[in-house]
Amino acid sequence: MTSQRQVRLFWRPLAHVACALPLVYLILQLAEVAGLRLGPNPQLVIRDVLGEWGLRLLLGSLAMTPLRWLTGKPWPLQFRRLLGLWSFAYLALHFVTYFFLDRSLDLPVIIEDIAKRPYITIGFAAFLLMIPLAITSTAGWRRQLGARWLTLHKLVYVVAVLGCWHFYWLVKKDVREPLVYCAVLALLLGFRLWKARQRAR
């Protein structure tokens, strides 16, 4: 039996380390430690790796509730917020990379991108929707908002759909990778629908 104490003192710190690893590896590559390299276009690699890990951690956060149902144990719920906030951190860095390294703070170009390039429009919309979720993820906000908190945090489903769509739409040729993310998301949302139907019955 995984005790609360074990989760708090061992598993959650371990989860934080695991979530930080891709970022640490990117920094080691950037610093060219031990021959690691990011290749000819480092800013593009950084942008894409941050985007992909942001999406993976978001799907990881959405997998915790089904895991709770499947295991019958409460411990997965203690990782939902952790994974959600790490996803937000990666996607904030993804946006900052695009803003500073990709577009060199060129506001007119960025505004044109957001207005005219659909995959950036929905990526931006997804990121904007994550901000209130990250801010209100604390126990204090949960108490303050009460039932409205649950309604607000259902936005995470919209963010995940927009994130997968953003990835699918930006890929020029081989859509297999984004389709895997879409399939995982469909599974996680489908499981919830099935569970809701079961409860209703």
Residue among 94, 165, 185, 188 that touches ligand HEM (CB under 6 A): 94
Residues 35-74 that bind ligand HEM (CB under 6 A): 47-48, 51-52, 54-55, 58
Least spacing, CB of residue 11 vs ligand HEM, in Å: 25
Helix axes 12-30, 80-97, angle to 10 degrees: 20
| Burial tier of 139 (Cβ tally within 10 Å: 0-12, 13-18, 19+) | exposed
Beta-carbon contacts of residue 71 (< 8 Å; ≥ 6 apart): none
Angle at CA of residue 106, ends 87 and 127, nearest 5° = 20
Angle at CA of residue 40, ends 109 and 54, nearest 5° = 60
Please, which residue, 38 or 102, has the CB nearer to ligand HEM?
Answer: 102
Least spacing, CB of residue 12 vs ligand HEM, in Å: 23
Least spacing, CB of residue 120 vs ligand HEM, in Å: 5
Site string for ligand HEM, 1-40 (x = CB under 6 A): ----------------------------------------
Least spacing, CB of residue 136 vs ligand HEM, in Å: 18
The size of the interface with ligand HEM (CB under 6 A), counted in residues, is 21
167 touches ligand HEM (CB under 6 A):
yes
Residues 116-135 that bind ligand HEM (CB under 6 A): 120, 123-124, 126-127
Residue among 60, 66, 84, 163 that touches ligand HEM (CB under 6 A): 163
CB crowding 103-123: b at 16 or more within 10 Å, else e: eeeeeeebeebeeeeeebbbb
Q: Could you please report the per-residue DSSP string of 19-88?
A: HHHHHHHHHHHHTTGGG----S-HHHHHHHHHHHHHHHHHHHHHHHHHHHHHH--SGGGGGHHHHHHHHH
User: Residue numbers of the site for ligand HEM (CB under 6 A)?
Assistant: 47-48, 51-52, 54-55, 58, 91, 94-95, 98, 102, 120, 123-124, 126-127, 163, 166-167, 170
